[in-house]
Amino acid sequence: MKDSWEALAQECRSCRECSLCETRKNVVFGVGSQNAEVLFIGEGPGANEDEQGVPFVGRAGKLLDDMLAIIGLTREQVYIANIVKCRPPDNRDPLGVEQDACIGYLRRQVALLRPKIIVCLGRIAAMRIIREDFKISREHGQWFQKAGVEVMAIYHPAALLRDPRRRPEAFDDLKGLQAKINELCEHTRAE
């Protein structure tokens, strides 16, 4: 049967495939345009996201909005999701088993969206989407092709909050993203 955003969101919201369901307040499915050409993927919800059921709403989320604004985008023009959709306790990295249990939902989101560009936010997403041994400090800003989709990783906004010295590199990566969007996207302009 043909998949739909509604069916997928509903399944996700009642998911009990891993133990994160026992501690979550809300499933954080994703936000943005269902016609977005650019998909941003973070690692997993934090406390604020768990509280509100929306990705990137805490301090890191504010910075992500600022990063989008640098290249003339708003979160309504893109789509934002995570590798795992429920909060790992104490903000630890999501475990391999949790990622394995959840990744099918992200795959279905990608199949519905059919983005032209995927941007991994940070190491965890890049290791899952690009390559298991991805090195964010060496390979951020580089382009990879995955099943016909252009994929890159940039520093996670939370990492930029922790270490502002990385901001100039993140700025360069955003400029690279802007150029790629304007080259490949049909209805998304980044100016």
Interface ranges with ligand URA (CB under 6 A): 28, 42-46, 49, 55-56, 60-61, 82, 121, 158
Please identify, using beta-carbon distances, which residue of 116 and 156 lies nearer to ligand URA. 156
For residue 82, the minimal CB distance to ligand URA (Å) is 5
Please identify, using beta-carbon distances, which residue of 63 and 117 lies nearer to ligand URA. 63
For residue 184, the minimal CB distance to ligand URA (Å) is 25
Please identify, using beta-carbon distances, which residue of 37 and 43 lies nearer to ligand URA. 43
For residue 156, the minimal CB distance to ligand URA (Å) is 6
Strand order, beta sheet including 38-42: 31-32, 79-82, 38-42, 117-121, 149-154, 144-146
Please identify, using beta-carbon distances, which residue of 61 and 141 lies nearer to ligand URA. 61
For residue 186, the minimal CB distance to ligand URA (Å) is 27
